[in-house]
Amino acid sequence: MDETTDAPMSGAFPLAGGLGSVVRIPVPGSGNLAVELTAKGWTPAGGSSSTLFIQDPTGQRHLRLDYGFNKRTNSVNYHWNQQKMNPSAPGAQFPVTNHQPAGKGGEWLYKGAKAYRAAGRLMIVTGVALDVVSIVVATRPLHQAVKVVSGWGGAWLGCKLIGAGGAVAGTAIEPGLGTAIGAGVGCFAGGLGGYFGASWAAGHLYDWVEGTYFSPLPEVALPAQ
């Protein structure tokens, strides 16, 4: 098989594109907060009316982008809700108060996060399916499997690392909105870079291991007692 013309599509792009919908992207320096698209804890059928969460592992401390009745403005709008974030403390990383209206940017982000939560998972499934096909049709399935699985691990790690950097940069521009956008963009870039980097490294390592032979040592008779 001609490797360049007959190679199936890589799952790297859809996988990296969808990772942000499931990966918890840390926000360094925030006391274990991370950007996520799902709530922590049990919620009734239908889930939460929020679509974007910057929260700790338990969900007890959080900033979330919500749509619904706003007790402060007495109207239905897009707004931020926070819990235990202490936004008025001097030097607070997220000085966003509870019920603070999120504006037009918040509305777009809310709708985007809602769509991406479902679309991102579909993209991951698509990426994994493409990669599985690439293993099945490869002339060296084990070699391709090692590359693919390493790519997945690299994408996950890259999403977390570069996404964390993006979250910090975004927070510096606009806490909340910028945090989420920075984390998302960083996750995609890091996921893509991590996928290709880990896949390339794993492929070369496989080839090196496969090309390594071990010569038996010459047998030597035991000295006579």
Partner 1 sequence: MSATAELLVCADLRDTRYGGYPDLSGDVSVLLVGWMAAADAADTGPLPSCVRDALVRASLAHWCLALLGEPADARTPAPGLSGRLRAPLAWRVVNQADAAAPLFEQPSHPWSLQGQCGLLFRDPPVFGDARLWRLAHRRSALDASLLARLGIEGLLLPGTDGEFVEALFGSGDTRAQWLAALHASATTLGLPVREVNADTFRQTNWFGDR
Query: Is the CB of 46 or the CB of 218 nearer to partner 1?
Result: 46
Determine if 86 is a binding residue for partner 1 (CB under 8 A). Answer: yes
Give least dist CB 62 to partner 1, A: 8
Nearer to partner 1, 28 or 68 (CB): 68
Helix (H) or strand (E) run with residue 58 in it? none
The answer to whether 84 contacts partner 1 (rule: CB under 8 A) is: yes
> Whose Cβ is closer to partner 1: residue 67's or residue 156's?
67
58 binds partner 1 (CB under 8 A): yes
Q: Does 77 bind partner 1 (CB under 8 A)?
A: no
Instruction: Tell me the number of residues near partner 1 by CB under 8 A.
Output: 33
Contact flag: residue 71 with partner 1 (CB under 8 A):
yes
Does residue number 76 form part of the binding site for partner 1 (CB under 8 A)? yes
Spatial separation of the C-alpha atoms in residues 106 and 25, rounded to whole Å: 19
88 interacts with partner 1 by CB under 8 A: yes
Distance between CA atoms of residues 186 and 190, nearest Å: 6
What are the backbone dihedrals phi and psi of residue 120, each rounded to the nearest 5 degrees, phi first? Answer: -60, -40
Q: List, in order, residues 6 or more apart from 100 with CB less than 8 Å away.
A: 79, 80
User: Which part of the chain contacts partner 1 (CB under 8 A), choosing from 3-11, 81-89, 152-160, 187-195?
Assistant: 81-89
The 3-state DSSP class for residue 68 equals strand
Nearest-CA neighbor of 100 among 133, 71, 61?
71
Helix 12-19 × helix 103-137 angle, to 10°: 140
Binders of partner 1 in range 17-56 (CB under 8 A): 39-46, 48-50
Record the tokens describing residue 26, joined without a space.
């840390």
DSSP strand E in the chain: where? 25-26, 34-36, 50-55, 62-70, 75-83, 100-101
Smaller CB separation from partner 1, 113 or 192: 113
- Segment near partner 1 (CB under 8 A); pick from 9-17, 22-30, 91-99, 183-191: 91-99
Residues at the site binding partner 1, with contacts judged by CB under 8 A: 39-46, 48-50, 58-60, 66, 68-69, 71-74, 76, 81-88, 97-99
